[in-house]
A = this chain, B = another copy of it.
């Protein structure tokens, strides 16, 4: 405020980047609206808007709605100014996508890719695919505002280095941002894949309820936690690791691959359900097999999935009491098994959780589906790239 502010009055916005925050939602606004919203003089708004227009981040969006006189010009975030590269690494496959600045996916490709091949091979591979996608879309490397990547293991988010990931041999403490930074411009942000799924679900469907818990049920079980609109990562980035939590009612004879007994993953994840069904004579293979069996109406499969939902619900009831979320989203391959998993979860959660915490609690299936990770990665980058300081820097670099 050029400290013009005699101090004491509404703190007001200051920099160009701050003003830009009012336009991040993508809704067009007129100069007049911006002036009242920011309590800045119209002349100042004009200066800022001009700078943003020159940078390309802002674009006029037609004019409209005259109230009797000259219709005001409306401006909005120019989603096409730059693009974001979003990468979702799984255990055996990788998805690479390019999105615009609103988070809309412009192009996407999924390939088989073994994470155990190590960081060099995998990262070069996805970088290549990203470069191809960019070319297909008629974009160049300098158009990239930033890169977001999700990996199947804990990550020290501040440095972007995976931390002792169990299923990612060779990735411990690898400087992922450095390696991807060689190929693309902008910041490279790394996070756990389930965290990003949670973020993706949050930004696409649940922005209004700021406390969300996403549970991914597939070969393993993990959770991503959004609290107060922010990802909860924990001290070492391993928050949300629900797979090896002990299930209250679990049979004592189920030994998990982690060596403990009664782990959630050992009773409710894909392999456990498949094993149960095979014991009953049903020939199912993998999580997809379970989903197919459920879709085919196999009673044993319905039962098993529902029972897995109950076990999951038993753990989630604890999570509800601990975190008091307003939404639980069930994702992962097994969430495709219709309402049966959900039914089991609801059954136990609503029974075991405190009425207070369940009052406004919704338990739903994922709406982003398999694209949650990509959407979350994109959202993470956009959040960083459109932050006030980043915008200031960008505007400066483009006008200098």
A-to-B contact residues, CB < 8 Å: 1-8, 11, 14-16, 51, 154, 163-164, 166, 209-211, 223, 225, 227-228, 230, 232-242, 244-248, 250, 258, 260, 262, 314-315, 317-319, 321-326, 351-352, 354, 356-357, 359-360, 389, 392-393, 395-397, 399-400
With known contacts A3-B2, A246-B314, A238–B357 Cβ distance under 8 A: yes
User: Pick the contact of A318 from B51, B227, B235, B318 — CB < 8 Å?
Assistant: B318
Alpha-carbon gap, A400 to B4, bound state (A):
15
Contact of B15 with A7 in the complex, beta carbons under 8 Å: yes
Contact of A354 with B392 in the complex, beta carbons under 8 Å: no
Alpha-carbon gap, A238 to B5, bound state (A):
40
With known contacts A14-B3, A318-B315, A324-B236, A260–B352 Cβ distance under 8 A: yes
Alpha-carbon gap, A240 to B395, bound state (A):
43
Alpha-carbon gap, A45 to B51, bound state (A):
30
Contact of A395 with B356 in the complex, beta carbons under 8 Å: no
Alpha-carbon gap, A258 to B354, bound state (A):
9
Chain B residues whose C-beta falls within 8 Å of the C-beta of A227 in the assembled complex: 227, 232, 234
Alpha-carbon gap, A365 to B367, bound state (A):
44
Alpha-carbon gap, A237 to B14, bound state (A):
33
Q: 7 closest Cβ contacts across the A-B interface?
A: A234-B324, A8-B396, A2-B2, A235-B326, A239-B324, A211-B235, A7-B396
- Closest CB of chain B to A351's CB: distance in Å? 8
Contact of B235 with A317 in the complex, beta carbons under 8 Å: no
With known contacts A1-B15, A11-B392, A325–B397 Cβ distance under 8 A: no
Alpha-carbon gap, A1 to B396, bound state (A):
14
With known contacts A164-B356, A248-B247, A8–B392 Cβ distance under 8 A: yes
Contact of B324 with A235 in the complex, beta carbons under 8 Å: yes
Contact of A322 with B242 in the complex, beta carbons under 8 Å: yes
